């Protein structure tokens, strides 16, 4: 299977607590409000809190094996990495709604893929981003 992602990733199995948090309201001057548009977070699952497992991690995001939530949900995530307690904000960019398997490119069996979500970090502490970058180096 070829790798199409830009950021190198670390494979791991780290417990994570995920909470759907939504995004803050923004107050704009009326002149700007008429012409300003931004991506809006899905609000249907705000307040849901659940466990998961970070299965791969990059400086930009992660795959979390967990129950799927709506695309464009904004999440608060808490997990440990390399001696750091990580508090991150992330957006759900894709989801796998059920476990599945695909054949390996070399024909030597199957690769099992768990259900879960692909997230992009909005905010993660700089020292954690640096630690991830060193590990994937």
Read off the pLDDT of residues 75-129 as tens digits, 9 standing for 90 and up. Answer: 999 999 999 999 999 999 999 999 999 999 999 999 999 999 999 999 999 999 9
Pick the range with the lowest mean pLDDT from 13-17, 39-43, 80-84: 39-43
Superfamily of domain covering 10-136: predicted glycosyltransferase like domains (2.40.10.220)
Is pLDDT of 5 > 70? no
> Residues 26, 40: contact at Cβ < 8 Å?
no
pLDDT at residue 137, rounded to an integer: 82
pLDDT at residue 3, rounded to an integer: 52
DSSP-derived 3-state class of residue 30: helix
- Residue 78 has φ and ψ, to the nearest 5°, of -130, 125
pLDDT at residue 2, rounded to an integer: 45
- Using alpha carbons, select from 110, 123, 119, 112 the residue that is nearest to residue 69: 119
Sorted by where each begins, the domain ranges of the chain are 10-136
Q: How far is CA 64 from CA 56, 91, 133, in A?
A: 7, 12, 19
Bridge partners of residue 14, in order along the sequence: 54
Burial (CB count within 10 angstroms: exposed 0-12, middle 13-18, buried 19+), residue 117: buried
Mean model confidence pLDDT for the chain: 93
Is pLDDT of 16 > 90? yes
């Amino acid at each position: 299977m070829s790798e199409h992602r830009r950021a190198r990733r670390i494979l791991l199995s780290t417990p994570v607590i995920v909470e759907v948090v939504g995004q803050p309201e923004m107050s704009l001057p009326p002149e700007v409000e008429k012409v300003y548009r931004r991506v809006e977070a899905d609000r249907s699952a705000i307040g849901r809190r659940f466990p998961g497992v970070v299965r791969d991690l990059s400086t930009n995001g992660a795959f979390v094996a967990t129950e799927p939530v709506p695309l464009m949900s904004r999440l608060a995530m808490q997990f440990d990495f390399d001696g750091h307690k990580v508090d991150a904000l992330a957006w759900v960019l894709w989801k796998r709604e059920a476990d599945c398997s695909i054949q390996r490119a070399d024909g030597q069996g199957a690769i099992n893929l768990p259900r879960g979500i692909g997230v992009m970090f909005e905010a993660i502490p700089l020292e954690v981003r640096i630690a991830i970058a060193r590990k994937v180096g």
